[in-house]
Amino acid sequence: MSGEVIVFTIISAMVLFGALGVVSTKNVGHATLYLLITLGSVAGIFILLLAEFLALVQILIYGGAITIVLLFALMLTRVDEFSSIKDAVQRPVAIVVSVLLLGVIITPFLQETLGGQSLTESNLRTLGHELFTKWLIPFEVASLVLLVALIGAIVVGRDD
């Protein structure tokens, strides 16, 4: 067994541990912290796939910012209303949706043509080249999208 397989097994176990924790715990605060384990471990999988930029995004944005915003959103709710997760009504729908999603994920693995080119080295510099020449307009549009999100949050969250 090569080192890559060992590392992948450990990281996958951590991803699954966090994901199972999210859906099994009754406390929504704990569920968010379990989600942090999963998001951080997925960054490890991205590094194994030589996608360093995605790993960076995963840790900085998902692990850092999204989890914080989730916790803040939880603390905005009133504790007596949402002290534990009450989702018994949604359970049948959730089962159907998750089985469908599992089918979508498994289908590509059953098809033989999983082609695509595999990377041999990390490509952060290449990504920078492409981003600031070929994909410049989408990059600048991304800042507009962020601006819209910012102004939207301010309009929604104002006191008056």
**Can you give the binding site for another protein, defined by CB under 8 A?**
3-4, 7, 29, 47-48, 50, 53, 56-57, 60-61, 64-66, 68-69, 72-73, 75-79, 120-122, 124-125, 127-129, 131-133, 136, 139-140, 142-144, 146-147, 149-151, 153-154, 157-159
Q: How many CB atoms lie within 10 A of CB 34?
A: 20
Nearer to another protein by C-beta: 102 or 119? Answer: 119
Q: What is the nearest approach in angstroms of another protein to the Cβ of residue 53?
A: 6
Q: What is the nearest approach in angstroms of another protein to the Cβ of residue 65?
A: 4
147's enclosing H/E stretch is helix 136-157
Q: What is the nearest approach in angstroms of another protein to the Cβ of residue 56?
A: 6
Rounded CA separation 131/45 (Å): 23
